[in-house]
């Protein structure tokens, strides 16, 4: 779970670096970037890690990103081993996601969840392929991939527009 989250964090950080103006002092720039990465990572962690975040921020010297990642992975392992407070917080977050999605159910049948974004059954907004295309599984038949399907749909739309203009 942490590795998937850290991959997303890295892509967002790369985007932020493109928007930030350059600094001439190399040492100051490197230190600032390292600190910013640590703060950004800590600011988006699951609430199950709040005690660890407080511990890191109270240290005399802020650890570098590698040290923070190591501490997070250790904490992730201990949350899995000992359950308790961390496990309950993770479950509380899952319950909040379902409530926030405002999924509704058909009465008398097996409950079905619906996406608030595309209004289709079977998933919630946080797992919607339209909002998160990277979550879409690979095609089992291998004929079309998600990108190919979108390109094909766009070219059909362009052909339809061209026919109406003639």
Q: Residues near 40 by Cβ (< 8 Å), separated by ≥ 6?
A: 9, 12, 13, 16
Residue 6 clears pLDDT 60, i.e. is over it: yes
Residue spans of alpha helices (H) in 59-145: 65-82, 84-101
pTM here?
Answer: 0.38
Tokens, residue 65: 């990103």
Which is more confidently placed, 159 or 96? 159
Residue 52 clears pLDDT 90, i.e. is over it: yes
pLDDT tens readout for residues 77-104: 877 756 554 444 444 444 444 444 444 4
Residue 68 clears pLDDT 90, i.e. is over it: yes
Residue that is written with structure tokens 């308790």 in the block = 84
Which is more confidently placed, 158 or 93? 158
Give pLDDT, residue 66.
94
Contact 32/40 with Cβ under 8 angstroms? no
In whole angstroms, what is the distance from residue 78 CA to residue 51 CA?
Answer: 13
Which is more confidently placed, 101 or 51? 51
Give pLDDT, residue 152.
56
What does residue 58 show for φ and ψ, rounded to 5 degrees? -85, -10
pLDDT tens readout for residues 22-37: 678 888 788 878 988 9
Give pLDDT, residue 71.
93
Domain boundaries, the chain: 2-101, 136-165
Give pLDDT, residue 67.
95
Which is more confidently placed, 61 or 146? 61
Task: Find, among 27, 25, 71, the residue nearest to 49 by Cα.
Answer: 71
In whole angstroms, what is the distance from residue 143 CA to residue 147 CA?
Answer: 12
What's the gap between Cα 77 and its chain centre? 20
In whole angstroms, what is the distance from residue 120 CA to residue 131 CA?
Answer: 13
């Amino acid at each position: 779970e942490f590795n998937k989250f850290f991959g997303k964090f890295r892509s967002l950080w790369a985007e932020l670096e493109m928007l930030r103006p350059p600094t001439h002092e190399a040492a100051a720039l490197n230190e600032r970037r390292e600190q910013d990465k640590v703060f950004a990572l800590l600011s988006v962690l699951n609430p199950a890690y709040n005690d660890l975040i407080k511990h890191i921020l109270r240290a005399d010297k802020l650890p570098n990103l590698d040290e923070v990642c190591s501490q997070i992975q250790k904490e992730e392992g201990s949350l899995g081993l000992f359950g308790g407070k961390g496990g309950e917080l993770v479950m509380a977050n899952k319950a909040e996601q379902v409530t926030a999605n405002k999924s509704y159910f058909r009465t008398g049948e097996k409950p079905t969840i619906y996406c608030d974004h595309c209004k289709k059954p079977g998933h919630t907004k946080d797992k919607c392929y339209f909002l998160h295309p990277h979550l879409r599984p690979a095609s089992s038949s291998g004929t079309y991939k998600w990108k190919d399907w979108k390109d094909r749909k766009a070219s059909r739309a362009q052909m339809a527009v061209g026919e109406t203009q003639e």
